[in-house]
Amino acid sequence: MQLHVLILKNCLIKGAIPEYLGGFSELKILDLSFNSLSGQIPDSMASLNLYLKFMFLSHNSLTGEIPSWITGSEGNFDLSYNNFTRAADYNCQPSKVNLASSMSSSESNSVAWCLKKDLPCSRKSKHHSLFINCGGTTTDWGGHEYEEDLVPEGPSYFSYYSSEKWAYSSTGVFLNNDRGNFLAMNNNMSEEIYKTARLAPSSLKYYGLCLRSGSYKVRLHFAEIQYSDDMTYNSIGRRIFDVSIQGKLIRKNFNIAEEAKGFGKAITLDNDVTVVNGTLEIHLYWAGKGTTLVPDRGVYGPLISAITVTPNFHVETGDFSTETIVGIVVGAFVIVILILLVLWKTRCLGKKDVEDKELRQAIESRTAYFSLRQIKAATNDFDCANKIGEGGFGPVYKGVLPDDAEIAVKQLSPKSKQGTREFINELGMIVAVQHPNLVKLVGCCIEGDQLLLVYEHMENNSLARALFGREEQLLNLDWPSRKKIFLQIARGLTYLHEESRLKIVHRDIKATNVLLDRDLNAKIGDFGLAKLDSEEKTHISTRIAGTIGYMAPEYAMRGYLTDKADVYSFGIVALEIVSGKSNNNFRPIEEFMNLLDWAYVLQEQGNLLDLVDPILGSNYSKKEALRMLNLALMCTNPSPTLRPSMSTVISKFQGKKRIRAPIVNRATEHAMSFKSFDNISLDSRTQSSSEESREERTLSISDSCRAYSMSARSNHADMDNYTPETKILQSA
């Protein structure tokens, strides 16, 4: 099977371009722009020249010589913004090969000005203003003459005008449409400069060249002239892109029609910028949002109608105008006041040094203290490649300490309503809770608004992943391993409920919160974090902090929280251990809600062993499996008073006490389950009206962060709360 189109733009890809790309001989479009690629362009890619029409390698860190098969090709190739050290003779002439700013600084003295970084002026800077009618002819408007911009080229094009007064660089090809329509026109607009526009599929840069050093007002003119509001097919399009000036992002996810309050309406963006090296850069970038195929395949991406650049200084003397000076002074005064207020609010003034010293001493009296610098070094500054989870309390990163010890760093969300002192007190309680079947907290870091917990790293990830994760994640858990995991979870909960000096109810026992070390020993994670994040003082919980499918009915319905809620959740996990199936994702027949519902039916029929994971075959103890399943049903009794304690569970499984599994009325259990779901749903709707949730981040093809970042946990119910040691995020 041949590959014809490969687009991996802005995917955080590092390293060299792989040699095997040269094997896709029928490749027509290759887009690896806006990544961190390094090294040379492989020689093997020369074989692509026969079919390759578009190749975009811009905005990387490629080095070496630009191959002659590229500079001599008839295709559209963009190699701008790289670090090449050598190129064939190139004198900034218009070409389908875009090499703007493509050469390294060490080689820039011997190459044409347009290949140098930041496009420095090749002569003395002399211009002090710029007026461009993008996509249109020369036009007098507002007392100024706007220069024409009529070159139709766009896929990989660099062009300059008026003796190096300005230039533009365009990158990209429209998906499923390579006809090259990079100019737009709408004669229904009343003002001349808004009748035309230039657009680009991916990236569009305008440069003001040879400008005198100083402060300038940059005004960008926009009007959505390709979509309409006539309630037809053309009215459903949405254009969204980013706007940067001098490398600074001034507007993200900019929607012209939305900002202008309608289609065909003009809007401007104004910014004061400083030019020091003679070049002004305006960058419009499509970040993959908005419409691509509706209403027309060739109308998405950045669009701009005109550019106005005027000086904030007297042209004759070079001094700032009176208005500009007044603005600068007032602005500087306001900024200083704001900085002082922020420093005062964050206690960075006054007793900061004393408080920091006391704070660190308080932390070190309870657990190991890691500085933020140490954590950043261990996680490579929270590199996305080291992100291994996104739980209800914040993201999780894998780190390696200088002694090669692996850690998992949980970055708690700054939304906690507790003060730092209260946080330290609660942290001390968690540190005091230590058991072989609890994930060990080895330290923490508190600097500024950063609250970081450092755990031991668990090599085999979660029980959920081992039992019912993706095919490549599954572990071959034999019966002895499952029995050991069952008992170890029970021992960990027994310690939390009955043996620890601090009685802790976990609230969210589930397979993803059970971690497995290198030897498949089970350890419970995230214990005590719900307490860190809440203000509750009684057993009546005002904020549900569990996961649907694992929550006890009395907790989900009334917020009644005791250790018997954990016992119920343990029963669900026990069913999953035996069956190898997820309680929430298993519905053997439409009328059954989940795994627990099916277990009740099999119990009534006397076929409880039908739940045993088929992978085990006959290699398990029927007596032990039946005992474990009966205990699971005891633990999930709808009545909390009829559930056993965790120490009793261990005794009964070991044969020290007799097991009498209850026969639960399935109709009653159905009613309580549905009431629980209704209660949670109502609570969700109530809280969602008053709290903002974090937007889900979408995946990028071949992204090193190929992970599904879960939404931030609401206070009522964590639908998929991942543990701090989760190694790889599972997609929903």
Residues noted as catalytic: 508
**Distance (Å, rounded) from C-alpha 255 to C-alpha 249?**
15
Reduce the DSSP state of residue 133 to 3 states and report it.
strand
Query: Which residues contact residue 260 at a Cβ distance below 8 angstroms, ignoring those fewer than 6 apart?
Result: 222, 223, 224, 266, 267
Q: Name the residue among 714, 317, 645 with its Cα closest to residue 493.
A: 645
Please, which residues bridge with residue 310 across strands?
A: 217
Which CA distances in Å does 553 have to 160, 490, 572, 644, 670?
Answer: 71, 21, 13, 16, 11
Query: Which residues contact residue 687 at a Cβ distance below 8 angstroms, ignoring those fewer than 6 apart?
Result: 714, 715, 716
CA dihedral 677, 682, 684, 690 (to 10 degrees): -170
Beginning with the edge strand found earlier in the chain, give each strand of the sheet holding 156-161 in spatial order. Answer: 156-161, 166-171, 203-208, 280-285, 241-245, 248-254
Q: Residue for token digits 């995991």?
A: 485
Going by their DSSP bridges, the two strands 280-285 and 241-245 should be labelled as antiparallel
**Distance (Å, rounded) from C-alpha 223 to C-alpha 305?**
7
Q: Which two structure tokens, joined as six digits, stand for 333?
A: 């005064």
**Distance (Å, rounded) from C-alpha 17 to C-alpha 356?**
47
**Exposed / middle / buried, residue 349 (Cβ in 10 Å: 0-12, 13-18, 19+):** exposed
Reduce the DSSP state of residue 309 to 3 states and report it.
strand
Q: Residue for token digits 């018997």?
A: 564
